């Protein structure tokens, strides 16, 4: 079932979501929610979706960066973003246990801020501990775009949106991003906008 994605201004997007117990994770209700969130994310389409984005203050997010989403991108963009396909998986009660000091800037969007984008600095590499959809402990290390997706979704679980981390002068409607900024390297965008 496709779920409604709530938009910025909904109080649930600014709450710290509550952790789930292993018993809750394996119950039918949460298992159904995971499937509904997967369908909603794929239908949007998006690469991640956190439970607060569908109105539920739970420490749960689904992630998947499908090969088909990468096919429509210029090869240089895929390389610059260190973007690779990421199979579908669920992160529950995630904690970032390590992040590098080196950050990278890229435009980022959000299904809960439909129609907008901004340049957001994120750690290039992170390590995350979490529970999977079976309540089992997992740990992953991610680099590039995958690390960005994880940081974005984990932010949602803490009541943080990308607009809290963005270079505010880069915030634009997708229409204007396509008109003025899409073809420019991020460094040039930041340089141009620092002079305005």
Mapping DSSP onto H, E and C, the string for 89-135 reads: EEEEEEEEEEECCCEEEEEECCCCCCCEEEEEEEECEEEEEEECCCC
Identify the CA nearest to 117 among candidates 73, 72, 168, 42: 168
Of the listed 64, 108, 133, 153, which one is catalytic? 153
Query: Can 79 be counted among the known catalytic residues?
Result: no
Instruction: Please list the active-site residues.
Output: 153
């Amino acid at each position: 079932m496709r779920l409604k994605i709530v938009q910025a201004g909904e109080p649930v997007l600014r709450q710290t979501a509550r952790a789930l117990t292993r018993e809750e994770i394996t119950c039918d209700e949460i298992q159904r929610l995971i499937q509904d969130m997967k369908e909603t994310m794929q239908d949007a389409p998006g690469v991640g979706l956190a439970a607060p984005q569908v109105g539920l203050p739970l420490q749960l997010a689904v992630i998947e960066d499908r090969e088909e989403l990468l096919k429509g991108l210029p090869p240089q963009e895929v390389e610059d973003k260190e973007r690779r396909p990421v199979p579908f998986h669920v992160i529950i009660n995630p904690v970032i246990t390590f992040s590098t000091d080196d950050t990278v800037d890229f435009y980022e969007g959000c299904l809960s801020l439909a129609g907008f984008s901004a340049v957001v600095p994120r750690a290039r590499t992170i390590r995350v501990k979490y529970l999977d959809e079976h309540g089992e402990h997992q740990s992953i290390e991610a680099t590039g775009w995958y690390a960005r997706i994880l940081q974005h979704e984990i932010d949602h679980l803490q009541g943080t949106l990308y607009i809290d981390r963005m270079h505010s002068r880069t915030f634009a409607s997708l229409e204007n991003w396509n008109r003025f900024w899409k073809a420019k390297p991020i460094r040039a965008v930041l340089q141009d906008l620092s002079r305005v």
